[in-house]
């Protein structure tokens, strides 16, 4: 099923669970962090790269999808990107743990889309119930400029191509 949004559309409002990075998280002084929410409204006037993965700590997401975004962080910033965010159906504590493990700090926001609810509203959810993983986000990437979609691509086969850091950088 194709996404229900396309280039030129205004990004639908969403609110995600989020645990902001703080130094106390680095050495586990603060075991869980402070739960918070982030709204797409906060992206008004900003250039945002949002990429979604089926799950934190899953093989492709953990080794092939997220790391290149962190490795190329400065290249994204040089192209005027204000916010880079990774989105998954995992809860915000898992996303925070993954962010700490990957060393994201405050460079990439690790956002929780519980039950892929927001993604499902865009026809971008994935039913992995038969694999014991429930409803997840599809693997996709969106470039948003002042809440307007400038790029949206969804992976149609296993692996990372159109939603990867290199593909997104080429479209900025």
What residues contact residue 63 under an 8 Å CB cut-off, 6+ apart? none
**Among 46-50, 54-58, 101-105, 117-121, which stretch is predicted with the lowest mean pLDDT?**
54-58
Residue whose C-alpha is closest to residue 90's, from 57, 67, 113? 113
Phi, psi of 150 (to 5 degrees): -105, -20
**Hey, what are 134's tokens?**
């429930």
What pLDDT, on a 0 to 100 scale, did the predictor assign at position 110? 96
Phi, psi of 151 (to 5 degrees): -155, 135
Average pLDDT over residues 135-141: 90
Average pLDDT over residues 108-118: 94
What pLDDT, on a 0 to 100 scale, did the predictor assign at position 136? 84
Give 57-107 pLDDT, tens digit per residue. 876 666 778 999 999 999 999 999 999 999 999 999 999 988 988 989 999
Q: Provide the β-strand partners of residue 110.
A: 86
Average pLDDT over all residues of the chain: 90
pLDDT at residue 31 is higher than 80: no
What pLDDT, on a 0 to 100 scale, did the predictor assign at position 2? 80
Rounded-to-integer distance, Cα 15 and Cα 75, Å: 27
What pLDDT, on a 0 to 100 scale, did the predictor assign at position 12? 96
**Per annotation, catalytic residue among 52, 61, 108, 142:** 61
Identify whether 32 is a catalytic site residue.
no
pLDDT at residue 40 is higher than 90: yes
- Asked if 33 contacts 20 with a C-beta cutoff of 8 angstroms, the reply is yes
pTM confidence score: 0.92
Domains and CATH numbers, the chain: 15-171 (3.40.30.10)
Q: In sequence order, what DSSP letters do the residues of 1-38 get, joined into one string?
A: ---S--TTSBPPP-EEEE----HHHHTTSSSS---EEE
């Amino acid at each position: 099923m194709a996404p229900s949004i396309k280039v030129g559309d205004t990004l639908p409002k969403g609110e995600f669970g989020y645990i902001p990075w703080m130094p106390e998280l680095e050495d586990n002084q603060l075991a869980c962090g402070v739960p918070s929410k982030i709204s797409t409204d906060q992206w008004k006037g900003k250039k945002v790269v949002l990429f979604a993965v089926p799950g934190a700590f899953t093989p492709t997401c953990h080794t092939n999808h997220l790391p290149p975004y962190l490795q190329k962080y400065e290249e994204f910033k040089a192209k005027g990107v204000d916010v880079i965010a990774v989105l998954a159906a995992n809860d915000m504590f898992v996303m925070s743990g993954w962010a700490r493990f990957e060393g994201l700090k405050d460079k990439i926001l690790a956002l929780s889309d519980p039950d892929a609810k927001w993604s499902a509203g865009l026809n971008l959810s994935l039913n992995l119930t038969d694999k014991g993983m429930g409803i997840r986000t599809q693997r996709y990437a969106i470039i948003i400029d002042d809440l307007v979609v400038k790029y949206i691509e969804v992976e149609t086969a296993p692996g990372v191509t159109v939603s990867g850091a290199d593909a997104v950088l080429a479209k900025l």
